[in-house]
Structure 1
């Protein structure tokens, strides 16, 4: 493959995620204050940076399968490294060479999400973030831009199984993006991997690589917030002994939902954090990414005991997860952000 994909999981804690009550928002922000730097795009995860890319241009394309519209927002940020600087002649040599090329274009591809076009018809859109300097190089059109778009179409197909028609697309003249751009989660290890692959790194790139290597060596500090591995907790739940006493808050699943869970549903991407990381856990914070969901009215949330269940029947989402903590279902606070399709749930623990 000629591209490197930096996952954009959009599991974010940033300023534009507003909650229902101000005191709730202030409480949540205070929990993460020790993790945040002065930069507005800093992440809550030590080895990840959350960035909000700038708009570039928008491509209107069509799916090969059903000819439905599919929009691609090409956006840019300085936090994604550029590809190695090569001339157009060098690119031609790469394209004419039958052997696999080491030339790569780093990019971050978001999960396709549902939006509406100017006729208010539902369609899908994805954001492709590239380096800002590289965007300036290809913005006005050139062989490199054609090469980039070929890689973009290929990347969407490889990553999400959506084949884009390459014979019917256009760049919109009066729109830089469709739907609002969402944040990208850029992992330091991915950036480090890209920079280490360069044959002719610049001095600036060498400096960035040195900083990342230094951060990696000093990453032994524990934070006040610890990310939970959901798979580990599910396994521990399944392996519990029958003689273990159940909490009085244990959740009893609805029979209908159990049946649905065995059907053809999609498990949404999510992350769980416990606070504080050491000592008695006071609460869990969950981030659940529902890219196809457009309204909180579609979401059914059942939380209690040691179980978290989220269902969006209309969109085919179902999550049934266990944690190793007892949740106080009377104190749960939740908010769905329609801009980035993120459901955030704060769950105090008993």
Structure 2
């Protein structure tokens, strides 16, 4: 019996080692298809209008709302459609592309120091929020949430638009990515060429199911170089029904229509712009490869 147990243990160790080798090979294959660095370009935003608010510590904050044709426009909605989304169970279904600039120190009209941020949006969407109060209120709320999440601060929702100046201080050039990350690649074992599809935006009306998933680290010991998530999605027929968002330490996945929803935090901070995802149509498994930020 002792020899049988020893043999079984050896077989299990060999299977585990073989699996790790296969996982590493798959990770390297996916990573080789990704660009070494995100493509980007520098843009010069145009001034729009400036709003003033305060932090929870009563520090004055100015937000320069700028515009540029290099920023993509969000879907064109009517007021009624926007209200319907905001009243739904998933108001995050409507996303506004924007570029959040770094804070810069300025001097206000009273000669006191203050902090200003530049936020750049599409020209046509800027015209819409400038003329439509509902869209303007919605956008300012979304913009403040973006600044809070990026710079870990709390902003008052009481704000006012400056009447006599379009910007506070100077507007700085910004670097924006020219490609959207992550793109989910669809893999069909019957075809040698993967298909690519950009995620779509839609309103989610029902309560979807949390899919089964596993997250593996490579290497398994110490600080990993990669995290690989495998998510089972047996009811998904096409990558076009998937919407994937990767945060620094968070994975959010929607499978439409109302099939799946996964929102989990991961144990390490990842490099979002170098992450990639593949959906295998045969196995119905979404594999996400996430390089881990070094210590």
Give the TM-score normalised by structure 2. 0.49
Larger Rg: 2
